[in-house]
Structure 1
Amino acid sequence: MTTLTPAADAPRTVTEPRGRFRDLLAAEWIKLWSLRSMPWVLGLSALVIIGANLKSATYTYDHFAVGDTASMYVQTALNDSFNMIAADILMIAAGSIGAIVIVSEYATGMIRTTLAAVPDRRAALLAKACVLTAVMLGYGTLVAGTSFGLTQAILSGRHIGLSITHPGALRFVAAAALFAPVCALIGMGLGVLIRHTAATVVATLLVLFLLPASFNDTYRWSAAVSHAMPFTAWRRLAQVDMTDVLVSPYPATVAGAWLTFAAWPLISAAIATIVVHRRDL
């Protein structure tokens, strides 16, 4: 009989458990709040936005004509809850935050550590986008909801305050709340492309501010480009009184505005995912 000699023990490889997506979300949540400027930017910008809206509502309250009917103040009451100044500040804050969240990792070299721990670059970026969307949606909802409640409470003293169930009010507040994550994801997408803090913030502001101002409704093609801008889409969603909309030869539609709101962040995230996957660090 032959005796079998046991083979030498081969080195055993220890398989590391694959990171779950919720672990990536937790990591991105920690990294986002580790930025020292994050609470300050969110808190101060929220206070400034709410303050600007309260000032607008106070002005309407002080200059209300007794003989006017409440129906004449529907659009004014909505505008007081989230005016143009508030929209501009929100665009600056949200767009800058979206840019800084990703560019800060490139600036500090943290992106190398992140991708070394998570080789799946697309999953890492998707987790970052999800966390950024959740934070900015909460921020936008808090700012828009608080502004609406406080401003309408002021205007109710003149019997022109609106409830959230008033036709068009819920759409107005929802558009203001969603405007924050839309701008933030645009900033993040540009940050992946540019990878420089100052240049990314400037590019984000140019996209959000300059492009909408460069087109008007005079020609059909120009109106189509203008209506495809996030800021123009927000203005259409915030317009309940159709008087000014019908004056335009090529008015925007509510459905088209919602489509614009959905397309910009999705396209930005898709481009950022492709760039991160194919481009070297």
Structure 2
Amino acid sequence: MTTLATAAPPVRFGDLVAAEWIKMRSLRSTAWTLSLSTLFVLGSAAAASLADRQHLAGTALESPDFLCFDAFPPAGYVTLMLVAGSIGAITMVSEYGSGLIRTTTVAVPARREVVLAKAATVATVWAVVGVVVSLASLLLSQAILSGSDAGVPITHPGVGRALLAAVLVAPVCALIGLGLGVLVRHSAAAVLATCFSLLILPMLFAPTNQWSADVNQLMVVSAWRRLVQTWGQLPGDPIQGATVTESWAVLLVWPLVTLALALLVIRRRDV
């Protein structure tokens, strides 16, 4: 009697996400990277808050708006963006470098689903990090500043928006890095492309005149700065800044475009 082999059930998307999570958590460097990034951002927030608290000692505070920025210091968050983007890029290109991508594509020929599973896993992990870091840095900075009666409550206008932007910027950068990793497929080049897009490119368009400022405002770091800036446009500033809606659009478009390009290219390339 001939026994017919039973076809294996199709791989579900949830299975792909679970496999990607196992790959990520099995690396010791993942926990170390996430922990050190969190501590660095919190240290930056504490340092900025302590500096402002000392500066404000014995002075009357007219407006607390700028003090909310202490919870989201550029030094800490730009570093977080670069780390998230680099990890996102390495998540993809490491499989090309090790040759594991061949095993992956044999097990799951649907390459686009693999990329989407990686994107879902990376975005979720960095979103959790974003929630922890943003809430902790806000609470820490306001605890320090409250000693000088300069704390800004979470109900203050613009603080909720700043908090949400601080949560989302890490997964946004991780997805950008992942997309660039698919496009470049070389570890060093992918990380370099990610860092160039997130940090160096905005520096090439300093907001010294309107056209340069318009290009600068299309960058992720500039959009993040606008969203965490609770005081809006300063009166008398000759350079027209981006609106809140435009800044949200920038944070949305960058990962969507890079992922769309990645999904388009992944089907046209050999592994």
Same fold (TM over 0.5): yes
Aligned 1:185-224 pairs, distance under 5 A: 185-224=175-214
One-letter amino acid of the counterpart of residue 14, structure 2: R
Aligned AA (1:237): L
1:269 and 1:255 mapped to 2: Cα distance? 22
Q: CA deviation at 1:131?
A: 0.6
Query: Could you tell me how far 1:12 is from its partner in structure 2?
Result: 2.3
Aligned residues of 2:233 and 2:241 also touching (Cα < 8 A) = no
1:142 aligns with 2:132: yes
Report the secondary structure of 1:111's partner residue: helix
**2:215 counterpart of 1:225:** yes
In structure 2, distance between residues paired with 1:156 and 1:65: 12
Mapped to 1, the partners of 2:209 and 2:150 lie a distance apart of: 37
Partner of 2:64: 73
Using a 3 Å threshold, how does the CA distance of structure 1 residues 109 and 222 change in structure 2: closer, same or farther?
same
Task: State the match for 2:91 in structure 1.
Answer: 101
> C-alpha separation between the residues in 2 aligned to 1:111 and 1:229?
31
1:10/1:89 CA distance change after superposition, 3 Å: same
| TM score, norm. by length of structure 2 | 0.95
| TM alignment of 1:12-27, pairs within 5 A | 12-27=4-19
Q: Which amino acid aligns with 1:137?
A: A
| The 10-residue stretch of structure 1 (185-194 or 240-249) with the greater mean CA deviation from structure 2 | 240-249
* 1:68-101, Cα deviation, whole Å (9 max, x unpaired): 12x42321x2111111111221122111111111
Q: Is 206-215 or 28-37 further displaced after alignment? A: 28-37
Map of 1:82 onto structure 2: 72
**Distance in 2 between residues matched to 1:19 and 1:201, nearest whole Å:** 31
Asked if the contact 1:140/1:178 (under 8 Å) is kept, the reply is: yes
- Alignment match, 1:171: 161
CA shift, 1:173, in A, is 1.2
1:243-278 CA-partner distances (Å, limit 9, x unpaired): 538614321110000000000111111111111111
1:56 to partner: Cα distance: 1.0
For residues 245 and 25 of structure 1, the distance between their equivalents in structure 2, rounded to whole angstroms, comes to 49
**Which amino acid counterpart does residue 206 of structure 1 have in structure 2?**
F
Separation in structure 2 between the aligned mates of residue 34 and residue 225 of structure 1, nearest angstrom: 40
2:57–2:148 contact (8 Å) kept in structure 1: no
Task: For residue 278 of structure 1, give the secondary structure of its aligned residue in structure 2.
Answer: coil
Distance 2:43 2:87 in 1: 21
Q: How big is each residue's C-alpha offset from its partner over 1:195-241, in whole Å with a ceiling of 9 and x where there is no partner? A: 11111111111111111111134454433321111011011111211
User: Which residue pairs with 1:157 in the alignment?
Assistant: 147
Residues 54 and 151, structure 1, Cα contact 8 Å, conserved in 2:
yes
Distance change >3 Å, CA 84–CA 248, structure 1 → 2: farther
Number of residue-to-residue matches in the alignment: 271
Match of 1:236 among 226, 239, 248: 226
2:193 partner letter: A
Partner of 1:252: 242
Question: Residue 39 of structure 1 aligns to which amino acid in structure 2?
Answer: A
Q: Structure 2: which 5+ runs fail to align?
A: none
- 1:217–1:248 CA contact under 8 A, matched in 2: no
Residue 39 (structure 1) aligned with residue 50 (structure 2): no
* SS of residue in 1 equivalent to 2:248: helix
Counterpart residue number, 1:3: none
Deviates more, 1:170-179 or 1:239-248: 239-248
Partner residue in 2 for 1:4: none
Which shows bigger deviation, 252-261 or 34-43? 34-43
Q: Return the index of the structure with the highest Cα Rg.
A: 1
Q: 2:42 aligns with which of 44, 50, 70?
A: 50
Identity %: 45
Q: C-alpha separation between the residues in 1 aligned to 2:168 and 2:195?
A: 18
Contact 1:25 1:128 in 2 (8 A): yes
